[in-house]
Structure 1
Amino acid sequence: MTSLKYLAGYPPALLAQVQQAIDAGELGGSLARRYPDPHEVRTDRALYDYVNELRSQYLRNAAPLSKVAYDNKLKVIQHALGTHTTVSRVQGNKLKAKREIRVASLFKEAPAPFLRMIVVHELAHLKEREHDKAFYALCTHMEPAYHQLEFDLRLWLTAQELGDT
């Protein structure tokens, strides 16, 4: 039996279906058929533009982002697929805050919907800090298939770890 660490918390019946697909060697192939197209967002500049386009479409009143980049130091093992940070600095008598989003470099090679799901997740943190009902409502507002994409991303990470791609 394979360790399904990315799927912890899902119902046992669903995990059994995933295990069955892994045992049959079908997990990676089925995901490749469902998500055949990679994205074209390969550079940090392209990622910055992509994220800001989504931000301006859905979160017009949110604070601007000072930096958006791929980060090869983010490790999936530590459950970090992307991060959002706010760096505050005192400039004169004012407090300035800079917001940054970093996306794991692994997503340079991921299917396009998975990159969108990660970006939507990190953008939602600009408005909602906690993973609560309001946070997920905002995620599904920006990406209606958010929950399915999150599950499929977890399957994709499992397939990557197993070398079933």
Structure 2
Amino acid sequence: MSDLMYLSGYPEQLQQQVRQLIQKQQLGTWLEKRYPEKHTIQSDSALFDYVTELKNRYMRNVSAISKVRYDSKLSIVHHALGLNVRKAQLQGNKIKRKHDIIIASVFREASPEFLRMIAVHELAHLKETQHDKAFYQLCEYMEPSYHQLEFDFRMFMTHRELMKKSQNTES
């Protein structure tokens, strides 16, 4: 495999280690051993409760979240795994601000650690809009293993793509 789309920004040494796991057909096994559990947060209302609890625990001073939901078309349309949508509505002489969080439905089948990673990422956008040092410090405050989880999730996505390609060639 010459192209690791989800891992292209990482050092060549790490990419080579992933390529070796793929060549030995051990990437899926490695991921299953490291992340054996699947979470039970399947509905949008359960996802809202989960994200709201994280927000209340780590970001009490940030305004409330209006809506949190899974979206099956998110990664296809926006090339993203999560979105933070800000809306402002004028109601009389007051501006009412709403924050919606949309999470790609691929996280429905992921481990609880990966769901937490994307929830933390989207919550951090409530305070920090850019992917800069302050943003990643906030992510690490809420999830100390944030960077490792993000890398491992990218390996999960790589494995998922390989499985899709394998199934398509068998058909």
> 1:33 — aligned with what?
33
Q: Percent identity?
A: 54
The alpha-carbon distance between structure 1 residues 77 and 155, as it changes in their structure 2 partners (threshold 3 A), is farther
1:117 CA displacement: 0.1
Q: Secondary structure at the match of 2:37?
A: coil
Alignment-mate amino acid for residue 109 of structure 1: E
Distance (Å, rounded) in 2 between the aligned partners of 1:136 and 1:79 = 20
Bigger relative contact order, structure 1 or 2 (CA pairs below 8 A, ≥6 apart): 1
> 2:133 — aligned with what?
133
Which whole-Å deviations, capped at 9, do the CAs of 1:10-68 have from their partners, x for residues lacking one? 11111111111101100011001100000010100000000000000000001000100
Distance (Å, rounded) in 1 between the aligned partners of 2:159 and 2:77 = 14
TM-score, structure 2 length as denominator? 0.92
> 2:159 — aligned with what?
159
Alignment-mate amino acid for residue 101 of structure 1: I
- C-alpha RMSD of the superposition: 1.3
Q: Secondary structure at the match of 2:88?
A: strand
Deviates more, 1:139-148 or 1:3-12: 3-12
Q: Secondary structure at the match of 2:3?
A: coil
Deviates more, 1:33-42 or 1:76-85: 76-85
Q: Which runs of 4+ in 1 moved over 2 A?
A: 76-79
1:91 CA displacement: 1.1
> 2:167 — aligned with what?
none
1:2 CA displacement: 3.9
1:77 CA displacement: 7.9
> 1:56 — aligned with what?
56
Alignment-mate amino acid for residue 116 of structure 1: R
Alignment-mate amino acid for residue 154 of structure 2: R
Stretches of structure 1 that go unaligned for 5 or more consecutive residues are none
Distance (Å, rounded) in 1 between the aligned partners of 2:105 and 2:9 = 26
Distance (Å, rounded) in 2 between the aligned partners of 1:73 and 1:30 = 28
> 2:150 — aligned with what?
150
Deviates more, 1:87-96 or 1:74-83: 74-83
Distance (Å, rounded) in 2 between the aligned partners of 1:67 and 1:77 = 20
Distance (Å, rounded) in 2 between the aligned partners of 1:141 and 1:120 = 9
Distance (Å, rounded) in 1 between the aligned partners of 2:162 and 2:150 = 19
Alignment-mate amino acid for residue 58 of structure 2: Y
Distance (Å, rounded) in 2 between the aligned partners of 1:22 and 1:57 = 39
Structure having the higher helix fraction is: 2
